[in-house]
Homo-oligomer: A and B are copies of this chain.
């Protein structure tokens, strides 16, 4: 294992120390627990947005705490859920009198954590609603969407809900927007190499020297097909198939596209891949209103990428384009 770290068991806490040291004006923590991360610039009266989940996915999850985005994140160990009381403490800080929406990925541990935190919040009179991201089409067939994992596409939910809350929508409206974003977002991923969990110290899975695995999850969950790595255009075509099918995109539709590197794939390659995505969409008469290319939801050093597409109506297009600012994600208008 070649990682820059001191002790494996301090990985997450030292990472957080670095984050607070680097961004003292934007991020802070509550409850005397650095894993209870909140924005340093809360907005009174705004609906609070809270996320959380395991570490090892930067900029997920905490990277989207910021202006026009989320208000707090409960930070777990590497690939481990945060605890319910951590999520609850973040909820308390994020509540600015207008209630709180949880947005997190569809993993059992996280569901338990946030359900329990919601109960604790309820007991204190904080109104909490929840939305579980499940954009990974590779993880369960259509019809079983509720079983699908949440992966990079959650960024679109954050972005839309974050902008909606910043506009002053109330809790129910923000939930409506988040649900619309979720309903219109699909993701597919492919991996070329494994990540290494620091406390484990060896690769989570092994894969042949010239193989790829389509549909692999961001913790190394098995995908739908393993086989020899194909030319970039063919890989994109295979991945776009189910996404375009499920979104049933047609001529005249607008979308936002997220080309997400899993950690070990150079940005050069993401653009080579995006070239093909843009070509296929153009051919279908689908117009891309917003493109993100980079690392947005990683699996540490895993090589691979995912494509997420969100179909846009006017409201989602407006919300996606809105200003946003966090130490990990800055977007000006236009």
Task: Name A residues whose Cβ lies closer than 8 Å to a Cβ of B.
Answer: 2-7, 11-12, 14-19, 21-23, 25, 55-56, 58-59, 192-193, 209-210, 212, 229, 231-233, 235, 259, 263-275, 278-279, 291, 293-295, 298, 300-301, 303, 305, 325, 327-328, 330-332, 334
Contact = CB atoms under 8 A, between A and B. Distances in A.
B235 A268 contact: no
A294 B327 CA distance: 10
A75 to B, nearest CB: 11
Contacts of A231: 5-7
A199 to B, nearest CB: 13
Nearest to A10: B272
Contacts of A273: 4, 18
A266 B12 CA distance: 13
A296 to B, nearest CB: 11
A18 B263 CA distance: 19
Given A11-B268, A18-B293, A294-B328, 10 more contacts: A3-B269, A4-B265, A4-B273, A14-B275, A15-B272, A18-B278, A58-B267, A266-B298, A266-B301, A330-B330
Contacts of A58: 266-268, 271
A229 B4 CA distance: 8
Contact of A305 (B4, B265, B334): B4
Number of copies: 2
A17 B268 contact: no
A263 B263 CA distance: 8
Closest 4 CB pairs of A and B: A18-B271, A18-B275, A21-B278, A330-B330
B232 A19 contact: no
Contacts of A325: 332
Contacts of A55: 268
A274 B18 contact: yes
Contacts of A56: 266, 268
A221 to B, nearest CB: 19
7 contacts: A3-B266, A5-B272, A12-B268, A14-B275, A22-B293, A55-B268, A330-B332
Contact of A275 (B2, B17, B263): B17
A266 B263 contact: yes
